[in-house]
Amino acid sequence: MQAAPSDSASALVILAQREHEGALRRYATRLLHDEARARDVVQETLLALGRSTDAEIETLRPRLAAWLFTVCRRKALNILRAEGRLSPLDAAPPALAPEADPAAALERADTRHHLLALVERLPERQREVVRLRYQEGFSYQEISDITSHTVSHVGVLLHTALQTLRRAWPVEPVR
């Protein structure tokens, strides 16, 4: 029989759910290509947080987001390994906020779509660190913690990815 979560674990789960559930679900969906399974993985991640001891909670609190993404990633990759397939990350952009100028909104959406298509062509490791850095806002150290790459390797992956994207980005015609 498992002990009930402590009050501090319950409070941290509520905080994590409120602040990180949406980003975790997007991340897991990109890894799994399946929204329902992504929700399950996020739920399992939050349950794992709830099983933390008070001592573990004190060490987790300052790096909560990185810990959550690490656990979520491992759970998603375990599912893919069990199925015998590790598939590329999916480009599922979040909905854009409505704009006053429809032409500007359309142009921005086209640019975003083109950029995401270029990101999708990157090798899997580069694609993942680009998304963690620029879509989720993680630091190099946090990405290192999540992916188990060294901080230096994260930097190399990002640098290489950005160089590839710059070369592939179309040059605007002179007007």
Per-residue pLDDT 10s for the chain (175 aa) are 455 556 788 888 999 999 999 999 999 998 888 899 999 999 999 999 988 888 888 888 888 999 999 999 999 988 888 887 554 443 344 444 455 667 777 777 788 888 888 888 999 999 999 999 988 888 999 999 999 999 999 999 999 999 999 898 876 544 4
The encoded tokens of residue 90 equal 């999916």
Q: Cα dist. 12→5, 52, 137, 161 in Å? A: 11, 10, 21, 35
Q: How many CB atoms lie within 10 A of CB 63?
A: 13
d(C-alpha 75, C-alpha 72), whole Å: 5
d(C-alpha 170, C-alpha 168), whole Å: 6
Q: Phi and psi dihedrals of 112, rounded to 5?
A: -60, -45
pTM of the shown model: 0.64
d(C-alpha 25, C-alpha 21), whole Å: 6
Q: Cα dist. 115→31, 88, 98, 119, 160 in Å? A: 19, 16, 20, 6, 16
